[in-house]
Amino acid sequence: MEKIIPNVTDATWQSLVLKADGPVLVEFWAPWCGPCRMIHPVIGELAKQYTEKLTCFKLNTDESPSIASQYGVRSIPTIMIFNKGEKKDAVIGAVPKTSLENTIEKLL
């Protein structure tokens, strides 16, 4: 069973993502996006798999468009990984779990 992924917003971005102690994965998504709904369970599985090593959040681009714009998100779903306040990598589209695992492993 996958883990429930908490939301991050404009108001919480700084404290939850940029000032986080360890690596953070953020899924940029929107409720109307079909591929986003397909990747939600995968992100939930990854959150459970990497519980001690990685914190996962999702950001609704309809509710927080300024963060998405700031990081150049033009297509969703986009998965970004941050560490120490810096964007380290991004994966665009509903990709297989193994692709995301490879990206995460490179950064841990």
The pLDDT tens digits for 49-75 are 999 999 999 999 999 999 999 999 999
List all residues 6 or more positions away from 54 whose beta carbon is below 8 Å from its beta carbon: 22, 23, 24, 25, 46, 47, 81, 104, 108
Is the separation of the CB atoms in 41 and 90 below 8 Å?
no
Predicted pLDDT of residue 77: 98
Catalytic residue among 8, 24, 36, 80: 36
Per-residue pLDDT of the chain (108 residues; tens, 9 = 90+): 556 899 999 999 999 999 999 999 999 999 999 999 999 999 999 999 999 999 999 999 999 999 999 999 999 999 999 999 999 999 999 999 999 999 999 998
CATH class label, 13-107: alpha beta
- Per the annotation, the verdict on 56 as an active-site residue is no
pLDDT score at 1: 52
Q: Which of 25, 33, 46, 59 is catalytic?
A: 33
> Active site includes 36?
yes
Sorted by where each begins, the domain ranges of the chain are: 13-107
**Which pLDDT score is estimated for 14?**
97
